[in-house]
Chain A
Amino acid sequence: MTRRDFIKTLLLIAASWALKLRHPAENIPSSPLKEALFYRKTNDLAG
């Protein structure tokens, strides 16, 4: 990998990271959450 390719890759990684960070949880429920149907509590104690 050339120095130029290396910098390009770094920039791409930084850009994709920034894009991910841009998504705040703002779309997630402003209204109260709805409890789901069909689930059960489990006892996950090990041993």
Chain B
Amino acid sequence: MKTVECLLCPRRCRLPEGGRGDCQVRANVSGKLYSLVYGKPCAVHVDPVEKKPFFHVLPGTSAFSLATAGCNLHCLFCQNWQISQSSPEETRNTDLPPQAVIDNALQHDCRSIAYTYSDPVIFYEYTLDTARLAQKAGLLNLLVTAAYIEQAPLTELCAVTQAANVDLKGITEDFYKKMCQASLRPVLDALVTMKKLGVWLEITNLVIPTCNDSDEDLRTLSRWVKNNCGADTPLHFSRFWPMHKLMHLPPTPEETLTRAREIAQGEGLHFVYTGNIPGHPGENTFCPVCKKELIARKRYTLGEIHMASGTCGFCGHRIAGIWQ
């Protein structure tokens, strides 16, 4: 029996001949492991970079965004479950080899490529090859990921990645086990590695009523981000919408997100945002020194900007991020 062990993510799937990994997109064919989704995205869009969300990366620009079927997590609350929990046979895929991604991105005046929607970890080879070409073409590579990945492949990917928005889904092992069929430790390790390797980090936490919305959870998560990634790391608290297997829960109340933001600010984080509530003050960027509003946002649209070359337009404080 020609069994192979996939070393890409902490699941370490062992695949018998003809078998597939837990992600549904890696298969053992005659004793070799193959990606079934290389150059076969099922979702391709030109999105505002704010949608990812990246608030400190080239604001107001477009990101050429793509995803394939599959995922190595199985979150009960997945907001993109239609593609993430599907095999490549169940999605409508396009032929888009790496060079065609670059050509399309340039054609649509995008400044970056976002590997997003499902998770770039499971379309690793496609992401890596595309990112190498993108870098040569002067485009930024943005990962939107749960960061459930082993250290060796992560290190290689970080060499061509400029920024990542990591979905930190909770801050307890219990949450990851029950809600995502995964574990927390590898995600925290991945975040530390990305930071160490110079990838610009933004972190998103989907706040789900009764699941991860206690003061203690929010405080522990915020404290971990500050201590391990730094006070300048943007933290986005995002509103949950009843989806997939959590249809019985209500949407996150606005007050919960306001409370989450206050807790994180109280822990010393400089840039704490709220997501999926258009018009909330938590959509805007404020200078951590003079407290004035630097970037106004409403959903994915920018309002007034008071920044010059990455610094506060009022007091001159340098604002962390990738601004040009």
Q: Which residues of A contact B (CB under 8 A)?
A: 23-31, 33-44
Contacts and interface: CB of A to CB of B under 8 A. Distances in A.
Tell me the dominant secondary structure on chain B's binding face: mixed
Contacts of A38: 6-8, 124, 150, 152-153
Given A31-B39, A33-B38, A34-B38, A41 B2 contact: yes
Contacts of B38: 29, 33-34
- The bracket for how many chain B residues form the interface is 35 or more
B8 A36 contact: yes
Contacts of A35: 32-35
Contact of A28 (B6, B31, B39, B89): B89
Contacts of B36: 28-29, 33
A1 to B, nearest CB: 25
Contact of B5 (A23, A26, A31, A42): A42
Nearest to B34: A33
B39 A36 contact: no
Contacts of B156: 37
A30 B180 CA distance: 32
A44 B16 CA distance: 9
Contacts of B3: 41-44
Contact of B90 (A23, A39, A42, A43): A23
Contact of B95 (A23, A30, A43): A30
A41 B4 contact: yes
Nearest to A41: B4
Given A27-B88, A27-B93, A29-B40, 14 more contacts: A28-B36, A31-B97, A33-B38, A34-B35, A35-B34, A36-B8, A36-B125, A37-B153, A38-B7, A38-B124, A38-B150, A39-B33, A42-B3, A44-B1
Contact of A33 (B16, B35, B150, B153): B35
A30 B36 CA distance: 10
